[in-house]
């Protein structure tokens, strides 16, 4: 696997793949790779002839006071994992390579509506930062396929909308959440949890499972969500949101069948997110 840091070298390498008629599958990441990321690489491997991963801790998607500086940077380890997973090329640019004029005057991509509320409500500007860097990576790599985790459900919805609205010729593939044995969704931020918090963290998933069961059995959504919030607070979480939306993140109505429960909750300074899809009864 080659690691490239410069745009010109990336373009040269990609030209070679395209010349050979190979389908390029892209896996954008911020590094500190775990099994969830490797599932993205495996899916990209299945769908493309060539797998290109990117590692870039994107400052544009971090708000003031968020964990940009603390975000784990583990490039050497990540390179080994990607190589073992069958990745062909890694693009790991410096911040100044993608944002040579700094962040202030940077052209940004905004995906309205779907970026609002949920994580977009708690993290203003976050999805503009994600949409901007993903658009940039799509232009630089021009992939046929791009794989993203379903753990970041709203992010995936934002990227799907972006691709549709800008008519980008990229097949966006959502890859199911990878969980630890106790149910905790894998995330680079799980590394911030101390032992006691790590023991509590799976209760986020357990709560979503209990709510899904209740809703699938016809329980009232408002009562069920209120019960879920109380459970999370009792377990020691500070919930940012717990919501039931339709699968496209619109409001649930009497005719909604395919829905999703979404939660974000803090354990100490660590913000965890999770979601669970469900079918509502008629």
Which residues contribute to the site for ligand PAF (CB under 6 A)?
Answer: 28-30, 58, 61, 130, 133-134, 152, 155
State the minimum distance, in angstroms, from the CB of residue 149 to ligand PAF. 7
Nearer to ligand PAF, 259 or 260 (CB): 260
Cβ closest to ligand PAF, residue 119 vs residue 203 = 119
**CA-to-CA distance for 152 and 185, rounded, in angstroms?**
10
Output 133 or 225, the one with its CB closest to ligand PAF: 133
Minimum CB distance to ligand PAF smaller for 162 or for 215: 162
* Kind and range of the H or E run holding 267: strand 258-267
Question: In this structure, what token pair is assigned to residue 142?
Answer: 């021009």
Nearer Cβ to ligand PAF (61/275): 61
Least Å from the CB of residue 226 to ligand PAF: 30
Q: Please indicate whether residue 126 is annotated as part of the active site.
A: no
65 Cβ neighbours under 8 A, 6+ residues apart: none
* Active-site entry in 37, 126, 139, 167: 37
- Number of CB atoms found within 10 A of residue 71's CB: 17
Q: Are 78 and 33 in contact (CB under 8 A)?
A: yes
What is the rounded CA–CA span in Å between residue 87 and residue 54?
Answer: 10
Q: Shortest distance, CB of residue 152 to ligand PAF, whole angstroms? A: 5
Question: In angstroms, what is the minimal distance from the CB of 147 to ligand PAF?
Answer: 10
- Check if the beta carbon of residue 93 is closer than 8 Å to that of residue 52: no
Q: CB of 228: closest distance to ligand PAF in angstroms?
A: 25
With beta carbons less than 8 A apart as the criterion, state whether 272 and 183 touch: no
Cβ within 8 Å of residue 263, ≥6 positions away: 204, 207, 208, 228, 232, 239, 241, 242, 243, 273, 274, 275
Q: In what order do the strands lie in the sheet with 2-4?
A: 2-4, 89-91, 50-55, 24-29, 145-149, 171-175
- Catalytic residue annotation: 37
């Amino acid at each position: 696997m080659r690691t490239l840091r410069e745009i010109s070298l990336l373009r040269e390498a990609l030209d070679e793949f395209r010349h050979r008629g190979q389908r390029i599958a892209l896996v954008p990441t911020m590094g500190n790779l775990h099994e969830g990321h490797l599932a993205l690489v495996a899916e990209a491997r299945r769908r493309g002839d060539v797998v290109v991963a990117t590692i870039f801790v994107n400052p544009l998607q971090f708000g003031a006071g968020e964990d940009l500086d603390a975000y784990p940077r583990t490039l050497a380890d990540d390179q080994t994992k990607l190589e073992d997973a069958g990745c062909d090329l890694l693009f790991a640019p410096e911040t100044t390579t993608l944002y040579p004029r700094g962040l202030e005057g940077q052209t940004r991509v905004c995906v309205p509506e779907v970026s609002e509320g949920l994580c977009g409500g708690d993290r203003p500007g976050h999805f503009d930062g994600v949409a901007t860097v993903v658009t940039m990576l799509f232009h630089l790599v021009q992939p046929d396929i791009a794989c993203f985790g379903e753990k970041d459900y709203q992010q995936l919805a934002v990227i799907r909308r972006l691709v549709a609205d800008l008519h980008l010729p990229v097949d966006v593939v959502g890859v199911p959440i990878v969980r630890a044995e106790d149910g905790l969704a894998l995330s680079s931020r799980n590394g911030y949890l101390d032992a006691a918090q790590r023991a509590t963290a799976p209760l986020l998933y357990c709560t979503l499972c209990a709510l899904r069961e209740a809703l699938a059995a016809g329980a009232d959504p408002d009562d069920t969500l209120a019960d879920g919030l109380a459970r999370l607070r009792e377990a020691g979480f500070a919930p940012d949101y717990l919501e039931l939306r339709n699968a496209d993140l619109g409001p649930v109505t009497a005719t909604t069948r395919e829905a999703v429960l979404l939660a974000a909750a803090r354990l100490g300074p660590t913000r965890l997110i999770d979601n669970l899809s469900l079918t509502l009864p008629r």
